[in-house]
Amino acid sequence: MSMSNIPPTMAPSALPADKPRWPGWIGGTAIAFAVLTLVVSCCQSVGLFGARLVPMVGLEMPAAPRIMAVTVAVDTVVTLVLAAVLLTGAVGTLRHRQSGVRGLRRFAVARLVLVVPLLLLSIAMVRPSVRWAAEIAGSVVEWKERKGIAVTEAEREATRQQEATPFQLAMSVAWPLAGGAYPLFLILFLRRPEVAQEVERWDA
């Protein structure tokens, strides 16, 4: 075999690099997080306002405390906006667009800025929510008594709760802090040098 028939070899630097996998799972987890926050926000809204929209016959539900109604309404709007930003960023990242990563960063920064206000509101809502739950339990007990339905001792006990339990207080703190975990991860991950270098090669 002559030397001219030997195929040329490529230098290691000229070999095609493996495509990074992180855009796929970062985009996928971003979509999942956006959908999860939308579902949770919708469930909160339905739980707060749904009972009065579809009341049982003869059972009048007490109105939610004002701080809860305003907070949940504002949270729903903010969640919709942030979810739209996150979904747009996720799709752009899956398509290897720099604008997608910028969208993820915008979402992460905005969500982290909201952690402290959400934490304070969550703590402020604990006592009103506990007392509102006791009022709801009282309305249910009265309705059952009028209908001749047996009332359990646990149901009567629920009408007397006026203070939050340690578990309820812990959850009021843990939930807002947990919501900031994913945005913090996004910021730290997207700041990695190899990730930034990869994004620079993408289309704007």
- Flag whether 126 is in a domain: yes
Give a yes or no: residue 2 inside a domain. Answer: no
Domain that holds residue 58: 25-200
Question: Is residue 18 included in any domain, yes or no?
Answer: no
pLDDT at 12 (0 to 100) = 47
12 assigned to some structural domain: no
67 Cβ neighbours under 8 A, 6+ residues apart = 121, 124, 125, 128
Per-residue pLDDT tens digits for 139-166: 888 888 888 888 888 888 888 888 888 9
Phi/psi for 203 (5° steps) reads -70, 150
Backbone angles phi, psi at 118, to 5 degrees: -65, -35
Domain presence at residue 9: no
Token pair in block for residue 82: 């942030």
The answer to whether 96 and 202 are in contact (CB under 8 A) is yes
Asked if residue 114 belongs to a domain, the reply is yes
Assess contact for 72 and 86: CB atoms under 8 A: no
| Tally of domains within the chain | 1
Tens of pLDDT, residue by residue over 37-75, are: 999 988 888 877 776 665 555 677 788 889 998 998 899
Let me know if residue 103 belongs to a domain. yes
Residue 1 placed within a domain: no
Rounded to an integer, what distance in angstroms lies between the CA atom of residue 161 and that of residue 158?
6
pLDDT tens-digit map of 177-195: 999 999 999 999 999 999 9
Q: What would the DSSP string read from start to end of 13-25?
A: GGSPPPPPSHHHH
